[in-house]
A and B are shown apart, each in its own frame.
Chain A
Amino acid sequence: MLRSLLGMIRKEFLQVSRDRNLLLIIFAMPLIQLLVLGYAINTEVKLIDLDVYDFDRSALSREFISSMRAGDYFVLHEGDESLFALAERFESGDGEMALVIPNDFSRRLTLGRDVTLGLIADGSNANSAAVGLGYAAQMAREFSQEVTGMKPPVEVRSQVLYNPEMESIYFMIPGIIATLLTMITVMITSMAIVREKENGTLEQLMVTPISGAVLLLGKLIPFAIMGLFEMFLALAFGVIWFGVPFAGSPLLLLALSTLYLFTTLGIGLFFSTVTSTQQQAMFFAWFFSVFAILTSGFFTPIANMPHWVQYITYLNPMRYFVSIVRGIMMKASGLIDLQTNIVALVIFGVVIFTIAALRFHKRTA
């Protein structure tokens, strides 16, 4: 029993070591994902192109404009004298943001009356538009305080916890780790089992005394090990290369990742029972991964999603795992902090794995 299980596992690793494409996926995927996502996905917005249309041309308006230069948030461009140019800039895609200062700007300000500024942003890049508008509004507030010398009655003092520099990479790495573990295990597991079907070896095995449980474990354990290895690789790379802090317990992360594996291996196993070629299995795994990643809160916060989508995310096991990895890595969360997520993963794991194992058993016994 144990011997044939070890034989199965050994065989699986041998096969993986022979498959050059698979090896490439296993080793190159985490590094490429980390590098690409780590550098490319940057939610910090800086150096926004800002076209300035100053119709006031007073000392005060110039002072306001120069205050916008502070802090590398904007790169200022002197706008044309007509607003027709503004529309053209945006239509051609050259304009990112525009500030319009009316010709009564300084007059009204010196009289102590309110002034309206125009801010225009290109919403096709929603993120930088939102951030840019926020910066500009903040600067306008500070400027009016300076001019009027009046402090607003309500003041906000903000402090950011866990990631004070708001480095987006710290936030991305846990997501990437969850993505890798999900994709690798779902995809490779389903494909490896379907390959046995394609080769006819699954049928050959069914005639041997190998038990269903050994067959199942023999197929799943190798990919669980590979998934965890993958995760370790990504983690080490994140910590060493990007200097991502690891606040919590690595052991807890390992334990909860193993818990999560019941879900992903179960899904991979399930896909292998509903497909008959590796291509089909890959398609299923791909489809699932895209859904799982997009609704996991990895790229966009779940709270920002429409309500009905938020409900759907509860059905996504990866959502809970992303929270767990983020919690452990960034906030040193413990078992109690993560209990809701853990309970969810236990339920997903038990249900999915049982269904998949039963289906697999029915097809092989």
Chain B
Amino acid sequence: MATISVKNLSHAYGSVKAVNDFSFEVDRGISYALVGPDGAGKTTIIRALCNLLTPDAGEIQLGGIDVATDFDKVKKKLGYMPQTFSLYPDLSVEENLTFYGGIYGVTGARYVEKRNTLYEFSRLKPFADRRARDLSGGMKQKLALSCALIHDPELLILDEPTTGVDPLSRRQFWDILTEFKKQGVTIIVSTPYMDEVARTDRACFVFRGGKLAEGTPEELTRLYQGEIYYVDRLPTTPLLDKLNLIEHVVARRFGTGLHLYLDMGQHPGDIATEITQAGLSVEDLMSVTPDLEDSFIQLMQGQQ
């Protein structure tokens, strides 16, 4: 399976357009993230990729094979992990692995070897006999990932695999993904978390069923237009209100301080008077490098 190509994908649930004329391509051996808030259309795209829904329009090819007509031909090379935990809760960790291995014809010595490798990564071995329903959220996700990887897929498709999982487990989860990517697995993952995007090769901002931007995490970050400053001052409501009155400036709380977002072409020197009137001085402003989230929010607001 060389490349994944999605062309002009559109799908609606009744009158609600979930995905609208969406296109993207993913090269072999790459990890690709679909990033966006809930309801952006990520799951619809993923489900269409896995032939779990027939889109209203559009063409999806996995490794040159048309999903709509020849999905059976790619099944063996595909690993899929849905958004909700979809293993057998009444079976143990090991039994789930055995079952999925069996479906893909991974049995005997090959299964044992594969299982041991996966146990090594997932650290699930001590829990081999535990029922899946009794696992913690993070362990459940690692088991689901292991089941999706048991047959050495070339393409791994994951739908919000770390939603609701604690930060440590999330990191472990991504360590496993990175390991398998190194071995040549192409990965498509949807996520609402910006920090996870930084761990992928390419990403696409998804919003309201459309594509806001696409590129490497660095490229996407650089899309931010304007400047951001941090002010270490208690973000009281009167202070924020005063700052927000200044033209081309948006002030928001940031932890115990606040962030000032200056529109493109604006510099602190240009608004020195207004800043002083609000009770701050230009020297208080510390420049901040915009991150992915800043870039995404700006693009999103541009759409609204």
- Using a CB–CB cutoff of 8 Å, the interface residues on chain A facing chain B are 3-4, 6-8, 10-11, 14-15, 18-19, 199-201, 203-210
Question: Once the chains bind, are A4 and B86 in contact (CB under 8 Å)?
Answer: no
B82-111 CB mask vs A (1 if < 8 Å, else 0) is: 101111111100010011101111010000
Please tell me which one of the listed residues B50, B72, B90 contacts residue A209 in the complex, with CB atoms under 8 A apart.
B72
In the bound complex, how far is the Cα of B102 from the Cα of A6, in angstroms? 9
Shortest CB distance B155–A (Å): 11
User: In the complex, are the beta carbons of A3 and B87 less than 8 A apart?
Assistant: no
Q: How long is the Cα–Cα vector from A10 to B100 in the complex, in angstroms?
A: 12
Complex Cα distance A4/B75, Å?
A: 15
Is B18's CB within 8 Å of the partner chain A?
Answer: no
Question: What is the distance, in angstroms, from A25's C-beta to the closest C-beta of chain B?
Answer: 16
Give me the interface of B with A, judged by CB distance under 8 Å: 50-52, 72, 75-76, 78, 80, 82, 84-91, 95, 98-100, 102-105, 107, 131
- By DSSP majority rule, is chain A's interface helix, strand, loop, or mixed? helix
Contact of B103 among A15, A199, A208 (CB under 8 A): A208
Tell me which of B50, B78, B99 contacts A7 (CB under 8 A). Answer: B99
Additional 6 contacts, C-beta under 8 A, given A6-B102, A8-B103, A11-B91: A4-B105, A7-B102, A15-B90, A201-B86, A203-B82, A207-B52
User: CA–CA, A49 to B78, complex, Å?
Assistant: 76
Question: B82 touching A4 by the CB < 8 A rule?
Answer: no
Expressed in whole angstroms, the Cα–Cα distance for A15 and B103 within the complex equals 17
B78 and A201 contact, CB distance less than 8 A: no
- A26 vs chain B, min Cβ distance (A): 16
Which residue in chain A gives the minimum CB-CB distance to B84? A200
Partner of B86, one of A15, A200, A210: A200
Residues of chain A with a CB closer than 8 A to B82's CB: 200, 203-204
Shortest Cβ distance from A14 into chain B, in angstroms? 6
> Which B residue sits closest to A203, measured CB to CB?
B52
Indicate if the CB atoms of A209 and B87 lie closer than 8 Å. no
Instruction: Closest B residue to A208 by CB, please name it.
Output: B103
Contact A207 B78 (CB under 8 A): yes
> How long is the Cα–Cα vector from A6 to B105 in the complex, in angstroms?
11
How would you classify the secondary structure of chain B's contact residues: helix, strand, loop or mixed?
loop
A206-B227 Cα distance, complex, nearest whole Å: 49
Q: Are A199 and B88 in contact (CB under 8 A)?
A: yes
With the chains together, A284 CA to B159 CA distance in Å? 34
Between A and B, 17 residue pairs with Cβ closer than 8 Å are A4-B105, A7-B98, A7-B102, A7-B103, A8-B103, A14-B90, A14-B95, A19-B90, A201-B86, A201-B88, A203-B52, A204-B86, A207-B50, A207-B52, A207-B78, A207-B80, A209-B76
- Rounded to whole Å, the gap between the CB of A183 and the closest CB of chain B is 23
Q: Which residues of A contact B84 (CB under 8 A)?
A: 200
Check B104–A209 contact: CB distance below 8 A. Answer: yes
Q: A18: which B residues are within 8 A, CB to CB?
A: 90-91, 131
A204-B80, A206-B52, A207-B75 known; A3-B105 Cβ under 8 A? yes
Which residues of chain B come closer than 8 Å to A6, judged between CB atoms?
102
A277 CB, nearest partner CB in chain B, Å:
15
Minimum CB–CB distance for A347 against chain B, Å? 33
Residues of B within 8 A of A15 (CB): 88, 90-91
B103:A209 contact, CB within 8 angstroms: yes
Q: Which 8 A-B pairs have the closest CB atoms?
A: A7-B102, A200-B86, A209-B75, A207-B80, A18-B90, A204-B86, A208-B103, A209-B76
Q: How far is the CB of A221 from chain B (nearest CB, A)?
A: 15
> What's the minimum C-beta distance from A285 to chain B, rounded to whole angstroms?
21
Chain B: CB-nearest residue to A200? B86
Q: Is B86 a contact partner of A203 (Cβ separation < 8 A)?
A: yes
CB-based contact B52/A11 at 8 Å:
no
Set of chain B residues within 8 Å of A19, measured between Cβ atoms: 90
- Tell me the complex Cα distance, A54–B99, Å: 80
